[in-house]
Chain A
Amino acid sequence: MPKARLTREQIAERAAMELPNGAYVNLGWGIPNLIAAYVPQEVTVHFHSENGILGMGPRAKPGDEDLDLVDAMKVPVTLLPGGSYFSQDDAHVMTRGGHLDICILGGLQVSERGDLANWRVPGAKGAGGIGGAMDISVGAQKLIVTMEHTAKDGSPKIVKTCSYPLTAIDCVDTIITDLAVIDVTPDGLVLREVAPGFTPADVQEFTEPKLLYSANVPEMRLQQR
């Protein structure tokens, strides 16, 4: 029986532990959208939405939705005390200008240099859409990508060179997957943690570029197991 990889929720849970108290944070679509629910109780972070919200709270309760207060995924949300509204250009002053401490985006491919491809699958039908991902990737003080380690066909998503259209070059700091936590460093990809039950050699098998790791790579920390 193959070993169980982490679920999307567990990837989100591990990613939430990367958020320091007081950080201003933007979360993208996909797995990142699950992260807010896992922020540890002792940590307060301030969520930014690129349509002009800072201090965004949880999803609005049924019956309390305000259609003028939606997040970047059109979901009705709430505003926390201390929150603010502003225009979309100011929202991107915050992204591109380097004011956000941590941004967490989904990924289709990440290269060993930290290039990110996350907006278009080659050959996909339709016009595609960039949204705010390029501005966010370029400006984030720290960019974390959360994604499954391999594509549906089993091919690695962490690659030597991205073959998908790029979102930004040299932008990713950390990759959190269902198999590992990996840091992008000037020396190469450093395997920081492995999913419970997996060895560094297992992770290497599903990763195209060479991983650097020490003799003892710890297991990924999770709150609930």
Chain B
Amino acid sequence: MTSKEKVYSTVDAAVADIPDGATIMFGGFGGAGFPNNLIQGLARQGARNLGVISNNCGTGEGELGLLFKNRQIRRVIAAFPGPGAKYFQEQFDAGEIELELVPQGILCERMRAFGAGIPAFFSPVGVGTEIGRGKEERVIRGKRYILEQALGADYAFIRAQRADHMGNLIYRKAARNFNPIMATAAKSTIVEVEEIVATGELDPETIVTPSIFVDRIVQAEGKRYA
């Protein structure tokens, strides 16, 4: 059996079949590790009515800002949309976007649970706050916890530093952030990378995301760092 080819020749080809209404996770934090090539590809492709799961909602037209500017996004799950998320904030204030705010670590853990086949879990975060409102609460060994649901998506758009042709991934510094978790929690994970190397060239001891979690690989434009 030959291995399935995961490397796509262009960004546009890698995002061509994203349908209207899809739910997509986007990696990235603080300007680092955003799949900006894929975001720009999705802007060109034009899918609409999207649901987005991301720590934040862009900076001006940068990062996810472009998709908000194009009015491609209707639903958002985020920890910190951000004061610089101009287009998101305008559409949120106008009541055009449905938002669920989630504590950042719980956003991670809900995705991690989904990827690990855990449907829900009890958490201490948000107990007694508006985050806990309406959620099942239980006292376990004397402490209060709320039930949080696992969070999956149709696609994860992520960025890594290096991939081999099988889809094993290595990240760079704090650009790792949400990318490895999201790769485990989506039906299909699309990664843009600074460099694609032959299978076998990555040191197995240093691989962060094993190939089983990656479906499509595309070369990002421009290597930011050697």
Measured CA separation A96–B80 after assembly (Å): 18
From A88, A129, A168, contact of B181 by CB (8 A): A88
B18 at interface, CB cutoff 8 A: no
Contact B108 A88 (CB under 8 A): yes
Nearest-neighbour CB distance to chain B for A92, whole angstroms, equals 3
- In the assembled complex, the Cα of A85 lies from the Cα of B174 at a distance in Å of 6
Chain A, 36-90, CB within 8 A of any chain B CB? 49-53, 66-74, 79, 85-89
Q: Please, how many angstroms separate the alpha-carbon atoms of A28 and B128 in the complex?
A: 22
Tally of A interface residues using CB under 8 Å: 44
Q: Is the CB of B19 closer than 8 A to any CB of chain A? A: no
Query: Residue B22 at the A interface, CB < 8 A?
Result: no
B111 contact set on A, CB distance < 8 A: 89
- Establish whether residues A89 and B108, one from each chain, have CB atoms under 8 Å apart when the complex forms: yes
Query: Mask for A113-156, Cβ within 8 A of B = 1, else 0?
Result: 00100000000011111111111001100000000000000000
B194-212 vs A, CB cutoff 8 Å, 1 = contact: the mask equals 0000000000000010000
Whether B173 and A134, one on each chain, are in contact in the complex, defined by CB atoms closer than 8 angstroms, is no
Tell me if B164 is interfacial: C-beta within 8 Å of chain A.
no
Q: Is A34 an interface residue (CB 8 A)?
A: no
The reply to whether A168 and B128 form a contact with Cβ atoms under 8 Å apart is yes
Q: Do A67 and B32 have beta carbons less than 8 Å apart?
A: yes
Q: Does B152 have its Cβ within 8 Å of any Cβ on chain A? A: no
A166 touches B108 (CB 8 A): no
Would A69 and B173 count as touching, CB distance under 8 A? Answer: yes
A56 to chain B minimum Cβ distance, whole angstroms, is: 9
- Please determine whether A134 and B83 come into contact, CB atoms closer than 8 angstroms: no
- C-alpha spacing A71/B31, complex, angstroms: 10
Q: Which of A73, A92, A169 contacts B109 (CB 8 A)?
A: A92
> What secondary structure prevails in chain A residues at the interface with B?
loop
CB-CB < 8 A to A129: which residues of B? 56, 78-82, 101
How near does chain B come to A136, taking the closest CB pair, in angstroms?
Answer: 8
- A128 B101 Cβ-Cβ under 8 A: yes
Of the residues B33, B55, B88, B112, contact of A68 by C-beta under 8 Å:
B33
Given A67-B32, A71-B30, are A134 and B89 neighbors across the interface (CB < 8 Å)?
no
Instruction: Report A104 CB to chain B, min CB distance, Å.
Output: 17
Q: Is the CB of A89 within 8 A of B125?
A: no
- Judge whether A138 and B104 touch: CB under 8 Å: no
B116-152 contact mask (Cβ, 8 Å, vs A): 1 or 0: 0000000111111111000000000000000000000
In-complex Cβ contact of B129 among A51, A53, A169 (8 A): A169
Instruction: Pick the most buried of A70, A167, A170: most chain B CB atoms within 10 A of its CB.
Output: A70
B residues within 8 A CB of A166?
128-130
Q: Does A165 contact B (CB under 8 A)?
A: yes
Interface string of B91-104 (1 = CB under 8 A from A): 01100000101111
Residues of A within 8 A of B (CB): 49-53, 66-74, 79, 85-89, 91-92, 95-96, 115, 125-135, 138-139, 165-170
Shortest 7 CB-CB distances between A and B: which pairs? Answer: A92-B105, A135-B105, A129-B80, A169-B128, A134-B103, A89-B108, A74-B30
**Sampled A-B contacts (13; CB under 8 Å):** A69-B32, A69-B173, A88-B104, A89-B111, A92-B105, A96-B123, A128-B101, A130-B102, A132-B103, A135-B103, A139-B124, A166-B130, A167-B129
